[in-house]
Chains A and B, each alone.
Chain A
Amino acid sequence: MGETRLMKGNEAIAEAAIRAGCDAYFGYPITPQSEIIEYLASQEPHKRTGMVLLQAESELGAINMVYGAAGTGKKAMTSSSSPGISLMQEGLSYMAGSELPCLVVNIVRGGPGLGTIQPSQADYFQATKGGGHGDYKLIVLAPASVQEMSDFVPLAFDLAFKYRNPVMILSDGVIGQMMEKVELFDQMPRATEFDQTWVTTGKTADRERNIHSSLDLDPARFEKHNHHLQEKYKKIIENEVRFEKIQCDDADYVLVAYGSSSRICQKTQKLAREKGIKAGLLRPITLFPFPYEEIEKLANHVKGFLAVELSAGQMVEDVELAVGKKTRIEFYGRIGGMIPTPTEILTVLEEKYLGG
């Protein structure tokens, strides 16, 4: 059994980073995720594990420091919130192109623009459909509790190194700022078991030199590289889909929600059952790869889905892709930093499907 603590989601990510053997954190403060760098600083990780902690001059600085550290095969990470993550998109595209592993945490706040410091899930498209330029994908994990904020950090590093691809933990102000009980895992070594032959730490006589670049001016060769990336994303889709189902087997109506919305919907689902409405909840844990197949299976027997997001309707498009014309899909979202309550969502479910 690990040590149990009461922690904010942001603090749990920071503690988990140290314990997961992260080599370096580069970041720039922004609400609602500044506790990550604040907590790290309080821990003096250079004393605990030798981990580097550096406040960069900007988000651009931070992501490019991550790029450099990742090139040497180190477990590097950064964190920010929406406007800061937008600034990092160029770096993410370059890293995906150069096939370098890293962890990027986005504690989403309301946009567009500088927006608000309140929670939002309106960065779903940016996280799952690209964000930067070019045909690339991030692996995207969506924690729904402080426990998962901790647990997903070592998972993210594993996936990043397994596929040599940036991984994003997509959370928001709700999970980042709330405190819950968290059982911390034991300290892991600052090393990875995955292949390290690609790192740029100095050429040895027995091999060709390693180069990390996303540039290739030969279209034929570059098409091959792009095919290779697409093959990799296909493997990720085959192997890494994660989701949680709550009472979906006999459900007439299934709520689909991730992260903070899924927590609110858990209560809605319970309240609905208490009223005799057969409701279930499907919670995507990986947003890329998205659990299309599972939702498609459910579509064969449920009367309808209700996608709930803190956005104007982004993940619902993936639900629509999965369901097609098989059954009804409704959407409910609050935007601009507002958060729905469980009873509010229940009312929507009743109005849309049961005629009020």
Chain B
Amino acid sequence: MNEEIIIAGFGGQGILSMGSILSYSGIIENREVSWMPSYGPEMRGGTANVTVILSSERISSPIINTYDTAILLNQQSLDKFENSVRPGGLLLYDTNGITRHPERTDISIYQVEAAAEAGKMASTKTFNMIVLGAYLKIKPLVKFENVITGLKKTLPERHHHLIPLNEEGLKRGMEIVKEVQLG
């Protein structure tokens, strides 16, 4: 098993923490993991991305230029990484603010209206969990309960009261994700 993922969007969308929750759940299932951020923008604003690799073998390079899955959460990231998805791979994106939609026909394309959905929930901070839920619905690489454990491990203690809300976000994402048929 080897899954190479890029998650990209704006700093502040929770991209890096989405990646670390996924990584932690991978560790619980005895996977090798690597989490490589584009550091700098997460604190300073701008476009942030993280490469996560989950594997049953020792991971060589944490830096790669093609991916099995791209989770793209703004137009810049979609423009930059659409062509980096390997043929047969997966592209998951949020339509919010997107003016040019993905066009590739050799990969699976899924949409999750996470920003819109997060606006309806008790906190818009559930955005990244809705996206993660959507991804795990398409590729159930790790067990749901291990994602929750990963959430507990990565979330600071003072935010633990938000776990039920995040769990709700994950489930919501699983419900609303839909495949896009092109051509």
Contact = CB atoms under 8 A, between A and B. Distances in A.
A and B interact: yes
B61 A179 contact: no
Interface residues of A, number: 27
Interface stretch (B29-37, B70-78, B140-148, B174-182): B29-37
Interface string A62-92: 0000000000000000000000000000000
A159 interface: no
Contact of B23 (A118, A179, A265, A269): A179
A260 B65 CA distance: 16
B20 A179 contact: yes
A181 B33 contact: yes
Nearest to A344: B65
B60 interface: yes
Contact of B35 (A6, A173, A264, A270): A6
Q: What class of interface size applies to chain B in its complex with A?
A: 20 to 34
Interface in B31-88: 32-37, 39-40, 59-65
B62 A178 contact: yes
B135 interface: no
Interface stretch (A226-234, A314-322, A335-343): A335-343
Nearest to A118: B40
A343 B65 CA distance: 8
B110 interface: no
A341 B39 contact: no
B39 A117 contact: yes
B35 A179 contact: yes
A174 B51 CA distance: 12
A328 interface: no
A266 interface: yes
B27 A4 contact: yes
Contacts, number: 70
Nearest to B66: A343
Contact of A267 (B40, B61, B154): B61
B63 A264 contact: yes
Contacts of A270: 60
A118 B33 CA distance: 22
Given A6-B24, A181-B33, A343-B65, A173 B39 contact: yes
B53 to A, nearest CB: 10
From B34, B61, B62, name the one whose CB has the most chain A CB atoms within 10 angstroms: B61
A266 B27 contact: no
Given A180-B59, A260-B63, A341-B63, 9 more contacts: A6-B24, A31-B39, A173-B39, A177-B37, A178-B36, A179-B34, A180-B32, A180-B33, A342-B61
Interface of B: 20, 23-24, 27, 32-37, 39-40, 59-65, 153-154
9 closest A-B pairs by CB: A266-B60, A267-B61, A179-B35, A267-B60, A341-B65, A264-B61, A178-B36, A177-B39, A342-B61
